[in-house]
A and B are shown apart, each in its own frame.
Chain A
Amino acid sequence: MVRYLLIRTGLTLLTFWLIVTVVFFLMRLAPGGPFDGERRLPPEVETNLRAAYNLDKSLPQQYIDYLGMLVRGDLGPSFRQKDFSVNELVAIGLPVSLTIGGLALIIATTVGIAVGLRAGLSPGSRKDIALMGLTNIGIALPTIIVAPLLVLVFGVTLGWLPTGGVGSFSHYILPPIALALPFTAAIARLTRGSVVETLSQPHLKTARAKGLTERLIIRRHIFPIALLPVVSYLGPAATSLLTGSVVIEQVFELPGIGRYFVQGALNRDYTLVMGVVVVYAALILMFNLLVDLAYAWMDPRIRLQE
Chain B
Amino acid sequence: MIRSAITRALFDTRLARTCCLVLGVIVLLAWLGPLFSGWEFDEIDWDAIESPPSVEHWFGTDFIGRDLFVRSMLGARVSLGIAVVATLVSVLVGIPWGAVAGYLGGRTDQLMMRIVDMLYALPFVLVVILLVVIFGRNPYLLFMALGAIFWLDIARIVRGQTLRLRAQPFIGAARLLGVSTAGIVRRHIVPNVFGPALVYATLTIPGVILAESFISFLGLGIQEPDTSWGVLIADGTQSMESAPWTLIFPGAMLAMTIWCTNMLGDRLRDQMEAGAGYTRNSAERARRRT
Contact = CB atoms under 8 A, between A and B. Distances in A.
Contact of A27 (B133, B137, B219): B133
Contact of B125 (A182, A229, A243, A251): A243
Interface residues of B, number: 43
Interface in A111-156: 136-137, 139-142, 144-145, 148-149, 151-152, 156
Contacts of B282: 190, 193-194, 229
A75 to B, nearest CB: 15
B138 to A, nearest CB: 10
A140 B123 CA distance: 20
Nearest to A243: B125
A18 B118 contact: yes
B289 interface: yes
Contacts, number: 126
Nearest to B129: A265
A247 B254 contact: no
Contact of B258 (A140, A233, A236, A277): A140
B99 interface: no
Query: Chain A: interface secondary structure?
Result: helix
Contact of B122 (A19, A186, A240): A19
Contacts of A233: 283, 286-287
A156 B241 contact: yes
A207 B134 CA distance: 59
B251 A145 contact: yes
B176 interface: no
A236 B287 contact: yes
B255 interface: yes
B233 A145 contact: yes
A47 to B, nearest CB: 25
A233 B130 CA distance: 25
A239 B286 contact: no
A52 interface: no
Q: Which of the listed residues B230, B234, B237, B240 has the most CB atoms from chain A within 10 Å of its own CB?
A: B237
A250 B130 contact: no
Contacts of B251: 145, 148-149
A257 interface: no
A163 B133 CA distance: 30
B126 A144 contact: no
A31 B19 CA distance: 43
Given A182-B290, A243-B123, A262 B247 contact: no
Nearest to B122: A19
A226 B140 CA distance: 44
B123 to A, nearest CB: 5
Contact of A139 (B214, B241, B283, B290): B290
A270 B132 CA distance: 12
A26 interface: yes
Contacts of B275: none
A26 B134 contact: yes
A4 B39 CA distance: 65
Contacts of A145: 233, 247, 251, 254-255
A232 B123 contact: no
A247 B129 contact: no
B181 to A, nearest CB: 30
Interface string B226-266: 00001001101100110010010001001100110010000
B218 A246 contact: yes
B223 to A, nearest CB: 11
B233 A250 contact: no
Given A140-B258, A142-B210, A152-B244, A265 B132 contact: yes
B121 A148 contact: no
Contacts of B101: none
Contacts of A27: 130, 133-134
A89 interface: no
A6 interface: no
Contacts of B136: 30, 265, 268
Interface of A: 15, 18-19, 23, 26-27, 29-31, 136-137, 139-142, 144-145, 148-149, 151-152, 156, 182-183, 186-187, 189-190, 193-194, 229, 232-233, 236-237, 239-240, 242-243, 246-247, 250-251, 261-262, 264-266, 268, 270, 273, 277, 280-281, 284
Top 5 nearest A-B pairs (CB, nearest first) are A243-B125, A140-B259, A145-B251, A148-B237, A236-B287
Interface of B: 118, 121-126, 129-130, 132-134, 136-137, 210, 213-214, 217-220, 230, 233-234, 236-237, 240-241, 244, 247, 251, 254-255, 258-259, 262, 281-283, 286-287, 289-290
